[in-house]
């Protein structure tokens, strides 16, 4: 195993901004206000057949036809800057040549070999063990974040001999039986949570539940509540606490710096496994392989997804060496998990991150983003809070800074304005969520932030601020 400092040194070429430079006279360019006529026509026909489209698509039914690096193009010829990496997925930008070539090579050679070992699977697993920090020693490969989370639940049960789970308010972990029972339930998912799944509050630095007399967030109070909850609300058979290091969908909700180290100790003292669902936050998104490294914490089980394959459906569940025996009892056999194309994609992603020194570049971008976000906050009264770690950001819009009342209307309008100016990003409630590819140059990042800044200004004016 190597530590973070060592892995970050293992770069060969370094970040080359020229590779990702864009002519800002050309990007973004809107020739037909989105959704343009061609998008509308193709989408209308598609939507007659495809059901259950996301709010994002319903709000802006644009039909994308091409993606390269940090850009997207639609069928009407509109050119966008991608400021969300698709849906937190294309961390290395669209169609990174090394990733595309790796997938193509195996698409021509061997597409599927069940869970037999292949040379490329062997190479990926060794590479993962090389770069991941801590004492990880067991991996299973899957094809969605949800299935990796389900595997984590099975493993936690096998390793602990217990069957109950704690998860946190506003977390998201997927859409199947177990993973959905870890998350906020609503009518999309059916009438009830599976037995043995319980939710608890987690510390949110902007909206703390429990504070010290000086108003600062009191992490200890949360942990005390967890103890009380286990005593009163469970049968004391808690196998694990499962949580996102940073809550992505909920709006880039950051924990206080002492939360993960204290939670690690709390878990150890109670023989409860710590499961970090890093489907959204891993593989460079926060400038580290794992987001929990930002707080020097090693989980017992971690799930990887989204940026792990940069768009190719490949995910993983990784366990510490001491649980390798337990995970060996859990069958890893799936139709697609760990197929040669998937392994090639994930391996190429890790190599690109190393070769292009992208963990460091994401941290450099973080410095730029933090400064720019703070500047925006000082100029816009509707911004209540700004948050950023690596290339994962959140801007919380409020009607009034003293009451912190969420400003959903403003969020929707800002999203629409910026999209119409050529910024492809994720729709907001009252929290603007940004997750640009970590390969983005500071010049392009600055342009994207200018579009958001300008859009917030216009919306403030429109709403009388």
| Contact residues: ligand PLP, CB under 6 A | 144-146, 149, 172-174, 244, 248-249, 277, 279-280, 305
Q: Which residues contact 314 (CB under 8 A, 6 or more apart)?
A: 141, 142, 143, 308, 338, 342, 343, 345, 346
CB of 149 to ligand PLP, least distance (A): 5
Q: DSSP character for 107?
A: H
Is 281 or 455 the residue whose CB approaches ligand PLP more closely? 281
Q: Is 235 exposed, middle or buried (0-12, 13-18, 19+ CB in 10 A)?
A: exposed
CB of 150 to ligand PLP, least distance (A): 10
Q: Are 152 and 277 in contact (CB under 8 A)?
A: yes
Please, where are the H alpha helices in 50-198? 55-59, 85-88, 97-109, 119-131, 145-160, 177-181
Q: Which residues contact 408 (CB under 8 A, 6 or more apart)?
A: 429, 430
CB of 283 to ligand PLP, least distance (A): 13
CB of 320 to ligand PLP, least distance (A): 20
CB of 144 to ligand PLP, least distance (A): 4
CB of 291 to ligand PLP, least distance (A): 10
CB of 418 to ligand PLP, least distance (A): 22
How many angstroms separate the CA atoms of 200 and 97, rounded?
43
In 3D space, the residue among 272, 271, 268 whose CA is nearest the CA of residue 240 turns out to be 272
Residue facing ligand PLP at closest CB distance = 145
Beta-ladder partners of 217: 211
How many angstroms separate the CA atoms of 134 and 292, rounded?
11
Is 35 or 174 the residue whose CB approaches ligand PLP more closely? 174
Is 78 or 144 the residue whose CB approaches ligand PLP more closely? 144
Is 27 or 289 the residue whose CB approaches ligand PLP more closely? 289
Is 74 or 244 the residue whose CB approaches ligand PLP more closely? 244
Is 277 or 460 the residue whose CB approaches ligand PLP more closely? 277
287: helix, strand or coil: coil
Q: Are 385 and 463 in contact (CB under 8 A)?
A: no
Is 27 or 142 the residue whose CB approaches ligand PLP more closely? 142
């Amino acid at each position: 195993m190597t530590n973070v400092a060592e892995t970050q040194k293992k770069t060969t070429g370094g970040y080359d901004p020229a590779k990702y430079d864009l002519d800002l006279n050309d990007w973004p360019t809107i020739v037909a206000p989105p959704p343009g006529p061609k998008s509308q026509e193709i989408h209308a026909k598609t939507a007659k057949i495809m059901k259950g489209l996301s709010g994002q698509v319903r709000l802006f039914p644009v039909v994308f036809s091409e993606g390269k690096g940090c850009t997207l193009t639609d069928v009407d010829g509109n050119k966008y800057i991608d400021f969300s990496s698709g849906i937190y997925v294309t961390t290395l930008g669209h169609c990174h040549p090394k990733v595309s070539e790796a997938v193509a090579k195996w698409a021509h050679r061997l597409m599927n070999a069940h869970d037999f070992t292949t040379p490329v699977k062997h190479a990926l697993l060794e590479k993962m063990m090389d770069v991941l920090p801590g004492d990880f020693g067991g991996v299973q490969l899957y094809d969605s974040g949800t299935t990796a989370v389900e595997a984590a639940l099975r493993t936690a049960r096998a390793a602990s001999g217990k069957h109950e789970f704690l998860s946190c308010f506003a977390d998201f972990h997927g859409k199947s039986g177990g993973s959905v029972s870890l998350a906020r339930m609503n009518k999309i998912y059916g009438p009830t949570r599976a037995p043995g799944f319980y939710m608890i509050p987690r510390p949110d630095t902007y909206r703390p539940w429990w504070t010290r007399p000086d108003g600062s967030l009191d992490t200890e109070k949360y942990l005390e509540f967890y103890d009380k909850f286990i005593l009163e609300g469970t049968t004391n058979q808690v196998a694990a606490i499962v949580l996102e290091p940073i809550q992505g969908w909920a709006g880039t909700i950051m924990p206080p710096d002492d939360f993960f180290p204290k939670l690690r100790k709390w878990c150890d003292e109670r023989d409860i496994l710590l499961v970090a669902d890093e489907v959204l936050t891993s593989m460079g998104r926060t400038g580290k392989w794992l987001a929990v490294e930002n707080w020097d914490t090693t989980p017992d089980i971690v799930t990887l997804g989204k940026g792990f394959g940069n768009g190719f459906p490949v995910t993983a569940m990784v366990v510490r060496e001491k649980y390798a025996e337990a995970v060996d009892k859990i069958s890893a056999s799936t139709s697609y998990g760990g197929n040669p194309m998937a392994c090639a994609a994930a391996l190429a992603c890790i190599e690109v991150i190393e070769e292009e020194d992208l963990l460091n570049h994401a941290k450099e971008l973080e410095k730029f983003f933090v400064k720019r976000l703070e500047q925006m906050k000082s100029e816009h009264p509707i911004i209540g809070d700004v948050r950023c770690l690596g290339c994962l950001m959140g801007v919380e819009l409020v009607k009034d800074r003293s009451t912190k009342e969420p400003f959903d209307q403003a969020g929707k309008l800002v999203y629409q304005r910026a999209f119409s100016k050529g910024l492809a990003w994720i729709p907001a409630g009252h929290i603007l969520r940004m997750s640009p590819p970590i390969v983005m140059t500071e010049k392009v990042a600055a342009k994207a932030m200018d579009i958001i800044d300008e859009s917030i200004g216009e919306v403030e004016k429109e709403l009388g601020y």
